[in-house]
A and B are shown apart, each in its own frame.
Chain A
Amino acid sequence: MPDQLPEHPDWLWRTPDPKPSYDVVVVGAGGHGLATAYYLARNHGISNVAVLERGWLAGGNMARNTTIIRSNYLCEESAAIYEHALKLWEGLPEELEYDFLFSQRGVLNLAHTLQDVREGTRRVGANRLGGVDAEWLDPDEVRAFCPIVNTSPDVRYPVLGATLQPRAGIAKHDHVAWALARKADEHGVDLIQNCEVTGFVRDGGGRVVGVETTRGRIGAGRVALAAAGHTSTLTDLLGLRLPIQSHPLQALVSELLEPVHPTVVMSNHVHVYVSQAHKGELVMGAGIDSYNGYGQRGSFHQIEHQMAAALELFPIFARAHVLRTWGGIVDVTPDASPIIGLTPVENLYLNCGWGTGGFKATPASGWVYADTIAHGRPHQLAAPFALERFATGALIDEHGAAAVAH
């Protein structure tokens, strides 16, 4: 045994104590909170900012997701914000000076039923009209693009075709968080871990002017929630009820394997989504548990179902082993679209409801949220996602529309 531990690698950000107050306090150091802080500083020159995190940086959904990045959503409003994200992703490794293994290896959404085919071809059409790259592949083309998918006609749910977004792909999620954290820190943002927000400080006019935390009271010009599955536990403290429900969502990885899987395959019908990470593990997402849960773990039958689906589509995985499974807490809205913008409580801003699919949005989410906070009005891309849509009825119904959750 060495009598001395190896040197710790360089820290990527400082570990400051909280200051008495900040211009903006961001609650939650997941991807969205970090991106928000980064763009507040970079785009708006607001760097007197703290990001408060109850646990450790990226310990929530950010480093638990299956890292799928794509922008081929059906609704115009969604395609616009996710495509903005994809364009940002394309420049981000260089801008953040961090190779977080962004890989545009394409994403296939398989169609197994006539309804899937209709939905897929419709979405390809809509995407093309909206300037999002999209192709429709027949089963032979699917096999050519991803030879390990079982495209034989005699399986239970034969592959009838697929949508392909060539610019879509994956990235290494924890590195994305660290890259954003380092740059935000360089701009002067204080990243404060082990600091849970437990309450809000309000002035006589009801405005939020600070937060109570496990590390004391911190004043804030504006408070920006980016707490994903925990958002309603915070807004409940203000009597503000939100249309979100928090559910367990699980994922799993296999042991490290030789490169066998060249792309990302999603099948909503058989319910599986798989990619192979750079190290070699197969990364698969399982289904969402039907019940509400804050336990960061889900039910075993979801994993079992997920494995059965994976084997049906990829017989080659038959002898792979499940190495690890884990769960996150996803915040689901009735229309499966996020909520971004102002709230009835002055100085309180909201960014939540990304549910099972917010990783891909990380840079755009931070971009439009920072802009919304800096100017006190919704960014153009965020405006359709305002909380008011649940009163006006102008829902952005991605649930039924795109038929894919992640």
Chain B
Amino acid sequence: MLLIACPWCGERDETEYHYGGQAHVAHPADPHALSDAEWGAYLFVRDNPKGEFAERWMHAAGCRRWFNVVRHTVTHDISAVYPAGQPRPVPPSDEHSEVTA
């Protein structure tokens, strides 16, 4: 059972949440401008990384707010929780790569 920290309610069991798949998938600005293949890719294709994944969760049995989580798909380590609509935070290791390099 995952323990996920809702940005509002704090840590709650996974069973209180609803999973929403990959985060940051924007609706195409002009769907009519897309080819069938591009539209199909928008509808059906999502990233499926083995590693860190920015994804959406909703606190269904709690405050019912959507938010984003960066979770590792092998270890389930959650490295970031941030509000929907905000960009994915830059991991600290990247920020400081110049210092540590």
Determine direct contact between A and B, CB below 8 Å: yes
Alpha-carbon separation in the docked complex, A290 to B56 (Å): 12
B55 touches A291 (CB 8 A): yes
Question: Do A246 and B48 contact each other (CB < 8 Å), given the known contacts A301-B15, A391-B40?
Answer: yes
Alpha-carbon separation in the docked complex, A370 to B63 (Å): 52
| The one of B18, B39, B40, B75 that contacts A295, using a Cβ cutoff of 8 Å | B75
A295 touches B44 (CB 8 A): no
A391 touches B37 (CB 8 A): yes
A294 touches B37 (CB 8 A): no
Count chain B residues whose beta carbon lies closer than 8 angstroms to a beta carbon of A.
28
Question: Do A245 and B36 contact each other (CB < 8 Å), given the known contacts A291-B19, A299-B14?
Answer: no
In the complex, whether A243 has a CB less than 8 A from a CB of chain B is: yes
Per-position contact with A for B28-61: 1 when CB-CB < 8 Å, else 0? 0000000011011101111111100101000000
Chain B: CB-nearest residue to A243: B44
Per-position contact with A for B63-88: 1 when CB-CB < 8 Å, else 0? 00000000101111000000000000
Count chain A residues whose beta carbon lies closer than 8 angstroms to a beta carbon of B.
24
In the complex, whether B1 has a CB less than 8 A from a CB of chain A is: yes
| The one of B13, B39, B40, B48 that contacts A244, using a Cβ cutoff of 8 Å | B48
In the complex, whether B21 has a CB less than 8 A from a CB of chain A is: yes
| The one of B15, B43, B53 that contacts A292, using a Cβ cutoff of 8 Å | B53
Alpha-carbon separation in the docked complex, A242 to B45 (Å): 6
Known: A391-B40, A393-B36. 17 other contacts (CB 8 A): A230-B50, A232-B48, A233-B49, A241-B45, A243-B44, A246-B50, A291-B71, A293-B73, A295-B75, A295-B76, A299-B1, A300-B1, A301-B13, A334-B44, A390-B40, A391-B36, A392-B36
